[in-house]
Structure 1
Amino acid sequence: MFEVSLHLATLLTLAAFAAGFVDAIAGGGGLITLPALLLAGASPLQALSTNKVQGTFGAATAAVTYAMAGRVDLRQQLGAAAVALAAGAAGAALAGLVPTEGLRLALPVILIGIAGFFAFKKGLSDDDRARRISPTAFTAFVVPLIGGYDGLIGPGAGAFYMIGFVVLAGHGVLKATAHTKLLNFASNLGALAVFAAYGAPWWGIGLAMGVAQIAGARVGARLAMRIGARVIKPLLVATSTLLALRLLWQMLG
Structure 2
Amino acid sequence: MDLSSFTTDYSFALLVALSSLAFVAGFIDAVVGGGGLIQIPALLIAFPDKAVATLFGTNKIAAISGTSVAAYNYSKRIRFDYRLLIVVSLAAFTASFLGAKVVSMVRAEVLRPVILIILVIMLIYVYTNKNLGAAQNKGLPLAKQLVLGSLIGLVVGFYDGFFGPGTGSFLILGFVVLLRFDFVTASGYAKLINCVTNISALLVFIRNGNFLLGIGITMAVFNIAGNIIGSRMALREGNGFVRKIFLVVVSLMILRYGYDVFQQFLPNSM
- State TM-score, norm by structure 1: 0.93
Q: Which residue of 2 aligns with 1:58?
A: 66
The CA deviation at 1:252 is 2.2
Identity across matched positions, percent: 33
Q: Deviations along 1:45-99, whole A, 9 cap, x unmatched?
A: 2221111111111111111110022353567623322322222111101111134
Is residue 215 of structure 1 aligned with residue 225 of structure 2?
Answer: yes
User: What CA distance in whole angstroms lies between the structure 1 residues aligned with 2:101 and 2:223?
Assistant: 25
Aligned 1:1-253 pairs, distance under 5 A: 1=3, 2=6, 4-42=10-48, 43=50, 44-72=52-80, 77-129=85-137, 130-131=139-140, 134-253=144-263
Task: Name the count of aligned residue pairs.
Answer: 253
User: What CA distance in whole angstroms lies between the structure 2 residues aligned with 1:20 and 1:73?
Assistant: 25
* 8 Å Cα contact 1:119-1:234 kept in structure 2: no
* 8 Å Cα contact 2:58-2:216 kept in structure 1: yes
Unaligned runs of 5+ in 1: none
SS in structure 1 at match of 2:246 = helix
Cα pair distance change 1:53/1:74, threshold 3 Å: farther
Q: Which residue of 1 aligns with 2:267?
A: none
SS in structure 2 at match of 1:252 = helix
User: What CA distance in whole angstroms lies between the structure 2 residues aligned with 1:125 and 1:250?
Assistant: 30
SS in structure 1 at match of 2:10 = coil
* 8 Å Cα contact 1:47-1:201 kept in structure 2: yes
* 8 Å Cα contact 2:78-2:188 kept in structure 1: no
Say what the alpha-carbon RMSD is for the aligned residues: 1.8
The CA deviation at 1:117 is 2.0
* 8 Å Cα contact 1:158-1:184 kept in structure 2: yes
* 8 Å Cα contact 1:126-1:175 kept in structure 2: no
The CA deviation at 1:137 is 0.3
Structure of greater Rg: 2
User: What CA distance in whole angstroms lies between the structure 2 residues aligned with 1:8 and 1:142?
Assistant: 37
Deviates more, 1:232-241 or 1:100-109: 100-109
* 8 Å Cα contact 1:114-1:237 kept in structure 2: no
Unaligned runs of 5+ in 2: 264-270
* 8 Å Cα contact 2:78-2:185 kept in structure 1: no
Amino acid at match of 2:41: P
SS in structure 1 at match of 2:257 = helix
Q: Deviations along 1:121-155, whole A, 9 cap, x unmatched?
A: 13124411243872220243221111011001111
Amino acid at match of 2:140: R
User: What CA distance in whole angstroms lies between the structure 1 residues aligned with 2:78 and 2:160?
Assistant: 26
* 8 Å Cα contact 2:133-2:181 kept in structure 1: no
Amino acid at match of 1:46: T
* 8 Å Cα contact 1:89-1:191 kept in structure 2: yes
* 8 Å Cα contact 2:157-2:197 kept in structure 1: yes
- State TM-score, norm by structure 2: 0.87
- Regions of 4+ moved over 4 Å: 73-76
Cα pair distance change 1:78/1:251, threshold 3 Å: same
